Copies of this chain bind each other. A is one copy, B any other.
Amino acid sequence: MTTYTPPTRDMQFVLHDVLQVAKSDIPGYEELEPDFTAAVLEEAGKLAAEVLHPLNKVGDEEGCRLENGVVRTPTGFKAAYDQLREGGWNGLDCDPEYGGQGMPHLLGTAVGEMFVSANMAFNMYQGLTHGAVNALHAHGSEEQKATYLPKMIDGIWTGTMNLTEPQCGTDLGLIRTRAEPAEDGTYRITGQKIWISSGEHDLSENIIHLVLAKAPGGGPGTKGISLFIVPKFLVNPDGSLGERNAVTCGGLEEKMGIHGNATCVMNYDGATGYLVGELHQGLRYMFTMMNEARLGVGLQGYAQGVVAYQNALAFARERLQGRAVTGPANPEGPADPIIVHPDVRRMLMHQKSFVEGARALAFWGASLIDASRRKGDQEAEEMISLLIPVIKGFLTDKGFETTVLAQQTLGGSGYTKEWGLEQFVRDCRITMIYEGTNGIQALDLVGRKLGRNGGRAVLEFFEMVKRFIKENEGNEALKEGFLDPLKAASKDLQAAGMHFMQAGMKNPSDALAGAYDFMHLFGHVCLGLMWARMARAAMEGLEAEGADRAFLQAKITTGRYYMARQLPATKAHLARILAGGETVMELPAEAF
């Protein structure tokens, strides 16, 4: 049986020592005093550890069941959902005008990490609702917002996003679901959507589906795509539930993991739909939802790593096997705890240095979103837009790797269901796939984001790294362990970018064949920068009276591990990119 310990102390360190949120000029951040965030995180952590985490295994084992069109969620999910809903957690960072608590997205991210670590499948019911709320908030009419947002933010209704169809995943131009205008201004939606997370369930009174469909007159490919609200139950003018709409769950997908979440085939048989925004602008609107969803998936990736690491660590401290090479560490016992062995430590340090670095990156990303939304900071908006594919792709690939390493730390026990580590691996695996596979993230990064506005955002990123190095160049304690490796890694990233500019002109396949490595290279430089910042903050913290020396020293040591032992991956990524795309593209498809 696994356990979950809310990493409140680590979160507070990122919020206050590294990001120094309470000193920020982002509106709303003035509330984020250490005592306040500690109180929120402790309350959320308690729910995560005591209410959500015990249901993680239950959800995996029971899964969801479809009975006469109704999906039954696992035992305990409904009660837990109600408890969170009643506590106001669903609307933590939503608009107060519609009943939200108006907290910064950053705080929602910290709380979200805990909920996801504790029970990823459970949290998806609320998580997708949050994305749907954002899309409606940004693009819905006043009437639509008034009708749907308060109940979705409250959580008494939930939301979904409906993109995928059997013949169409990444390539949305192939969508076949049709929207026919009716005389009353509504639309009749007809088609089949698949892999709809939380598409049908028994947690909420109504489910508000946001559906991409082709309306007449938009032209071929993605051009005709529009976005529609299709509620499970139509809503009467007074807000009460009306008749059942013609949307039904046609089946549940059997999956590798996240069994606690219902992944549905949704059939729309002339269902009543309401156009969101303008006709034929659906794809653009959906991206509002998708961008936040991608950040949320990056968070899932490392959050599963967090809980997997915690359990691996607990095992490594308790399991007695063999003796330390430097002499018995537990001479009274039959053997030493395996944490004494260098290779076990390698695994633990790898996990620890990744998840703590990833948290800093995710929190920084959330603060950029707040700066963009709350302050209208254009530079922050461009930076987070650049970073989204990196956060999604890198944090999920590495998050998965972390769960696999955590499982490995337990040896044979890690492979058994009893110990629970294998569930983290299975659950985390989806994060590399959904909301755009990580290959798609890499293409988004290299094909779209990198060159946008003449490469302004990536140049600013390099400047940021340079500034940090320059600001701290007199800091001897930081130099060898942090600044030098960061500089080297950043140079690798620049060399890769330069190669794309030159080679990509001649041959677009070349840049695209290296895109995945570039995404990883970028991710490593981001985490290198995060660790350099954390190390500086920890060093400054150590100078204060009454400092938590063990905690801060551990941050520095963990950071030094990352810089020395994870960051060198940039060398291999760069070498692959410089090798070009020829060997990737040369083989004729029939010769594979």
Mark A residues whose CB is within 8 Å of B: 164, 167-171, 173-174, 195, 253-257, 313, 317, 320-322, 325-326, 334-335, 337, 339-349, 352, 400, 404, 407-408, 411-412, 414-418, 422, 425-426, 429-430, 432-434, 437-439, 442-443, 508-509, 512-513, 515-516, 550-551, 553-554, 557-558, 560-561, 564-565, 568-569, 571-572, 575-576, 579-581, 583-592
Contacts and interface: CB of A to CB of B under 8 A. Distances in A.
B571 A326 contact: no
Contact of A568 (B415, B432, B437, B575): B575
Contacts of A560: 583, 586
Given A557-B587, A560-B586, 20 more contacts: A169-B411, A174-B320, A174-B335, A325-B508, A341-B439, A342-B509, A342-B512, A342-B585, A343-B439, A343-B515, A400-B404, A408-B433, A414-B433, A550-B591, A551-B591, A554-B592, A557-B586, A558-B587, A564-B576, A568-B572
A326 to B, nearest CB: 7
Contacts of A587: 345, 349, 554, 557-558
Instruction: Name the prevailing secondary structure of the A interface residues.
Output: helix
Contact of A438 (B408, B416, B565, B572): B408
A170 B592 CA distance: 41
Contacts of A169: 321, 411-412
Given A170-B411, A341-B512, A579 B553 contact: no
Contacts of A580: 564
A321 B221 CA distance: 12
Contacts of A551: 591
A459 to B, nearest CB: 25
Contact of A583 (B400, B561, B579, B586): B561
7 contacts: A256-B417, A317-B592, A342-B509, A342-B584, A411-B433, A412-B433, A568-B579
A591 B553 CA distance: 9
Contacts of A254: 416-418
Contacts of A561: 583-584
A349 B568 contact: no
Contacts of A588: 550
B439 A429 contact: no
B516 A346 contact: yes
The 8 closest A-B pairs by CB, nearest first: A568-B575, A342-B512, A256-B422, A564-B579, A561-B583, A254-B417, A342-B513, A343-B439
Given A171-B321, A429-B425, A565-B583, A339 B592 contact: yes
Contact of A584 (B170, B346, B433, B437): B346
A347 B257 CA distance: 23
A321 B168 contact: yes
Contacts of A253: 416, 418
Contacts of A255: 415-417, 422
Contact of A174 (B195, B317, B321, B571): B321
A554 to B, nearest CB: 4
A569 B568 contact: no
Contacts of A590: 550
A207 to B, nearest CB: 21
Given A174-B335, A337-B589, A416-B253, A512 B343 contact: yes
A254 B87 CA distance: 37
Given A337-B589, A586-B557, A592-B348, A170 B322 contact: yes
A345 B422 CA distance: 29
Nearest to A575: B568
A517 to B, nearest CB: 9
Nearest to A340: B589
A292 to B, nearest CB: 20
Contacts of A326: 508-509
Contacts of A438: 408
Contact of A345 (B404, B418, B584): B584
A512 B325 CA distance: 9
A422 B422 CA distance: 13
Contacts of A408: 432-433, 437-439
A265 to B, nearest CB: 11
A584 B351 CA distance: 12
A586 B550 CA distance: 12
A195 B412 contact: yes
A437 B414 CA distance: 11
Nearest to A511: B342
A405 B437 CA distance: 12
A164 B415 CA distance: 14
Nearest to A400: B404
B349 A584 contact: yes
